[in-house]
Amino acid sequence: MNFRKYLFILVPYSWLLLLFLVPFIIVVKMSLSDTEMAIPPYTPYFTLSQGWQGIVDFFSQLDFENYIFLAEDNLYWKAYLSSLKIALISTTFTLLIGYPIAYGMANAAPEWRPTLMMIIILPFWTSFLIRIYAWMGILSQEGFLNQFLLWTGIIDQPLTILNTNIAVYIGIVYTYLPFMILPIYASLEKLDISLLEAAKDLGCNRSQSFWLITMPLSKAGIIAGCFLVFIPVLGEFVIPSLLGGADTLMIGTILWQEFFANRDWPVASAVAVVLLLLLMIPIILFQRSEQKQREAEQ
Amino acid sequence: MKRFTWFNAVSLTLGFAFLYIPMLILIIYSFNSSKLVTVWAGFSTKWYISLFSNDAFIDAAWVTLKVGFISSCAATVLGTMIAYIMVRGGRFFGRGLFSSMIYAPLVMPEVITGLSLLLLFISIGLDRGVFTIILAHTTFSMCYVSVVVSSRLASFDVSIEEAALDLGCTPFDAFKSVTLPIIAPAVVSGWLLAFTLSLDDLVIASFASGPSSTTLPIKIYSSVRLGVSPEINALSTIMIAIVTFGVLTSSIISKRAIKRQRLEEEQAFKNG
């Protein structure tokens, strides 16, 4: 029994160690290496052939040069800050658009709810790339949005939306909307209607009972939804690279460029390590709030 | 008290319109005969024909399906094992590290996962190709599978398994004939999730693939960067159709399975 149990544990455990933890250690090591115009494009190169002395030499050649480079170069600071700004603004918009939808779903007749849920989930299954691509045709100079606005006479010159930050915001709100709606809907659905009835009996009007009861009781869903949008958006690559323009700075695209265009692996690795450190804060906050929520429910 | 108001109706309508209009436009204009994507010039299926005669797309589609199928099967097996260990395994050495390694890939930005796997493949001298994409996809999607399966495992009664063990089943038999049938719907939806994640992935596949192995998302990305093209619209329409069909069928099947299970339980309760 025990042997089988350990075999059961050992297979996925060693898989994750080998393909998740070890690669990550390699990234950290790479971020401490120096860039070299060679194949592979970095030094020092780890080998066991020179014995102990080789290992000592290897560690003595590692340094924090790349991190100093990141700290001194304005570009990286700006990219980290602008990723934070984009993630914050787009999370706010996703919340403002997602909440009324979740609220509407929770207020719908119970027999309709599974269907409404399906309508929200279905786009989530379709390709992310295709959903972003769909917006390219809408937002471009001669795209559908401009055609429509020109036709209605609201504007007389086509607007430039594609390849600006506005397009990035639209893309993020569009693709991450289900992540916001589902947790909010889950918390609204659990809400006890008798509380709202009691509030009405006690003289609250609709908006008072919304702000005094519905909103506070859906706080857990709002927090979860905001984190579920904010965390992945920070490291987003596809949306800024397809919808964003030259002035869209996001850390995901910077990392990609460092790696593929500049072939600077050590700097790309340092960018990755800093991004991960940056992500630790919201992730830890999120775990704490989930824990609190779980304790409150028990 | 009437709860559903005109405000709810308007926000749902606008919300659903926002979610679906971009895809509808994409689908409609895949049947446009003009090369200009935004000008309607009559119905035509010529972009579908040119898509199917484009070898590069067909090859990429095969690679993608192969990677998706193999990696989602592997991820389902490993992810189910992980879920079983985490929910039923009790204490073992390194459990904390194990559970954080399961959750980390869910929040890890794809660029970092991709970069780290690429550096691993290079440092152990593994040639990049279909095999390395499969390894990469299995690694991140097994974590999603384990989340889906463990929520189902945690919600059912352990005593059924214990009863099977008391009646003389080996732990493996108990797993196979008691646990597995109960968690089967979650395993199936875990597989589906893994498969769609793999079909969809651009970033990790770009890092893990070699020059000879292009997946569909990589191909789409490289042609889309140059602008909108009607062929990509046609391809997108096909992919949307497949996914919609798959998701709707699986949800109908699982709904029926749940209903049948409930009926059987009621029947057993009456008879007993």
> Can you tell me the distance from the alpha carbon of A85 to that of A79, in angstroms, rounded to the nearest whole number?
10
Q: What is the DSSP string of A122-174?
A: HHHHS-HHHHHHHHHHHHSTTSHHHHHHHHHTS-SS----TTSHHHHHHHHHH
Beta carbons of A242 and A172 less than 8 angstroms apart: no
As a whole number, the mean pLDDT across chain B is 88
Q: What is the mean pLDDT of residues A43-69?
A: 73
pLDDT digits (tens, 9 = 90+) for A109-133: 888 888 899 999 888 888 889 999 9
Count other Cβ atoms within 10 Å, centred on residue B192. Answer: 19
Count other Cβ atoms within 10 Å, centred on residue A180. Answer: 27
Higher pLDDT, A39 or B72: B72
Give the per-residue pLDDT at A167. 95
Least CA distance to A137: which residue of chain B?
B228
Count other Cβ atoms within 10 Å, centred on residue A243. Answer: 26
Count other Cβ atoms within 10 Å, centred on residue A41. Answer: 15
Q: What is the mean pLDDT of residues A89-111?
A: 94
Structural domain boundaries of chain A? 28-63, 72-297
What amino acid is encoded at B82 in this protein? I
Residue B165 has pLDDT above 70, yes or no: yes
Sort B172 into a burial class: Cβ within 10 Å, 0-12 / 13-18 / 19+.
Answer: exposed
> Where are the strands (E) in chain A, listed by range?
34-35, 42-43
CATH of domain A72-297: 1.10.3720.10
When CB atoms are compared, the residue of B84, B108, B228 closest to A136 is B228
The lowest-confidence range among A2-6, A43-47, B38-42, B228-232 is A43-47
Q: What is the mean pLDDT of residues B72-95?
A: 88
Q: Give me the percent of chain A exceeding a pLDDT of 70.
A: 94
> Can you tell me the distance from the alpha carbon of B78 to that of B72, in angstroms, rounded to the nearest whole number?
10
Tokens of residue A167, six digits: 């397009």
Q: How confident is the model at residue A203 (pLDDT cuts 50, 70, 90)?
A: confident
> Can you tell me the distance from the alpha carbon of A210 to that of B89, in angstroms, rounded to the nearest whole number?
45
* Residue ranges of A 90-149 with Cβ closer than 8 A to chain B: 97-98, 100-101, 103-105, 107-109, 116, 118-123, 125-131, 133-138, 140, 142-144, 147
Q: What angle do CA B55, B57, B59 make, to 5 degrees?
A: 65
Give the per-residue pLDDT at A50. 66
Tokens of residue B252, six digits: 């109908």
What amino acid is encoded at A146 in this protein? N
- Specify which residues A42 forms β-bridges with: A35
Tokens of residue A203, six digits: 């003289």
Count other Cβ atoms within 10 Å, centred on residue A262. Answer: 12
When CB atoms are compared, the residue of A23, A143, A232 closest to B119 is A23
Residue B64 has pLDDT above 90, yes or no: yes
* Residue ranges of A 184-213 with Cβ closer than 8 A to chain B: 193, 196-197, 200
pLDDT digits (tens, 9 = 90+) for B238-272: 989 988 888 888 888 777 877 887 888 788 777 76
- Residue A25, classed as helix, strand or coil, is helix
The lowest-confidence range among A215-219, B37-41, B94-98 is B37-41
Q: Give me the percent of chain B exceeding a pLDDT of 70.
A: 99
- Residue B43, classed as helix, strand or coil, is strand
Residue B2 has pLDDT above 60, yes or no: no
Give the per-residue pLDDT at A71. 84
- Specify which residues A35 forms β-bridges with: A42
CATH of domain B54-226: 1.10.3720.10
The lowest-confidence range among A249-253, A291-295, B17-21, B90-94 is B90-94
Chain A residues closer than 8 Å to B135 by CB: 19
> Can you tell me the distance from the alpha carbon of B46 to that of B31, in angstroms, rounded to the nearest whole number?
8
> What does residue A34 show for φ and ψ, rounded to 5 degrees?
-105, 150
Residue A185 has pLDDT above 70, yes or no: yes
ipTM of the complex: 0.86
CA A276 to chain centre: 12
Beta carbons of A253 and A242 less than 8 angstroms apart: no
User: Which of B7, B10, B11, B201 best tests the A interface by mutation, with the highest count of A CBs <10 A?
Assistant: B11
Residue B82 has pLDDT above 50, yes or no: yes
Q: How confident is the model at residue B103 (pLDDT cuts 50, 70, 90)?
A: confident
Q: What is the mean pLDDT of residues B32-49?
A: 84
Count other Cβ atoms within 10 Å, centred on residue A277. Answer: 9
Between the alpha carbon of residue A169 and those of residues A140, A173, B248, the distances in Å are 15, 6, 30
Q: What is the mean pLDDT of residues A183-198?
A: 89
Higher pLDDT, A3 or A26: A26
> Can you tell me the distance from the alpha carbon of A15 to that of B5, in angstroms, rounded to the nearest whole number?
52
Give the per-residue pLDDT at B201. 93
Residue A178 has pLDDT above 90, yes or no: yes
When CB atoms are compared, the residue of B16, B107, B110 closest to A231 is B107
Q: Give me the percent of chain B exceeding a pLDDT of 90.
A: 41
Does residue A55 belong to the interface with chain B, where contact is any CB pair within 8 Å?
no
Q: Give me the percent of chain A exceeding a pLDDT of 90.
A: 41
CA atoms B113, B114, B119, B125: torsion sign? positive
Chain B residues closer than 8 Å to A228 by CB: none
Least CA distance to B18: which residue of chain A?
A174
* Sequence-distant (≥ 6) Cβ neighbours of residue B219 within 8 angstroms: B56, B57, B60
Give the per-residue pLDDT at B1. 46
- Nearest-Cα distance to chain A for B262, in Å, is 18
Q: How confident is the model at residue A39 (pLDDT cuts 50, 70, 90)?
A: low
pLDDT digits (tens, 9 = 90+) for B189-247: 899 999 999 998 999 999 999 887 899 999 999 988 877 788 899 999 998 998 888 88
Q: How confident is the model at residue A38 (pLDDT cuts 50, 70, 90)?
A: low
Q: What is the mean pLDDT of residues A185-213?
A: 88
